[in-house]
Amino acid sequence: MMGRRQAEIRVAARYTELERLCAFVAEGADAAGLSPQARDHVQLAVDEAATNVIQHGYGGEGDELLRVAWRADPGQLTIVLIDQAPPFDPDSIPEVPTPANVDELAIGGYGLRFIRQVMDEVDYVHANGVNRLTLVKRADPA
């Protein structure tokens, strides 16, 4: 039985870092024993969340930090994104129609609603000048 593993990465708020973040969380998905499809969902959600932080939170690319940590338990991956952008109100985000097939999605513009669709749990907290987005993905039931 595999035990708990965890890792953390800090990157500058730049679009060129997204590929690195996606590869980083894919390692976590593999460590948690998630399916390839679940791993894809995790990568899409983190790409979308990090893009939102850069674009809306920090108002564009810069040297501000984005911290991403994951914890892999057997059958479950928990990812936390931490930034120091101004807080945002999740309810203020406009809805975008989502295609019937997740595989047809273009990255960008789907935001929180999309992240909620592909992840099992999504929790956003702003406290002490820090935004903390927690994403949980569980393995598909066998």
- pLDDT tens digit sequence for 64-94: 999 999 999 999 999 999 999 998 766 665 5
Q: Of all residues in the chain, what percent carry a pLDDT higher than 90? A: 75
Task: Return the DSSP state at 85.
Answer: S
Residues 6+ apart with CB under 8 A from 138: 75, 76, 77, 120
Q: What is the average pLDDT value for the chain, to the nearest integer?
A: 88
Q: Please check the confidence at residue 114 and state whether its pLDDT lies above 50.
A: yes
Q: What is the structure's pLDDT at 118?
A: 94
Q: Please check the confidence at residue 106 and state whether its pLDDT lies above 80.
A: no
Spell out the domain ranges in the chain.
5-138
Higher pLDDT residue, 104 or 11? 11
Residues 6+ apart with CB under 8 A from 129: 84
Domain 5-138 has CATH 3.40.605.10: no
Q: What is the structure's pLDDT at 1?
A: 46
Q: What is the structure's pLDDT at 140?
A: 82
In this prediction, residue 100 has a pLDDT band, given cuts at 50, 70 and 90, of: low
Distance of alpha carbon 34 from alpha carbon 67, whole angstroms:
22
Q: Which residue type, as a one-letter code, is found at position 121? A: E
Closest alpha carbon to 82 in 124, 122, 34: 124
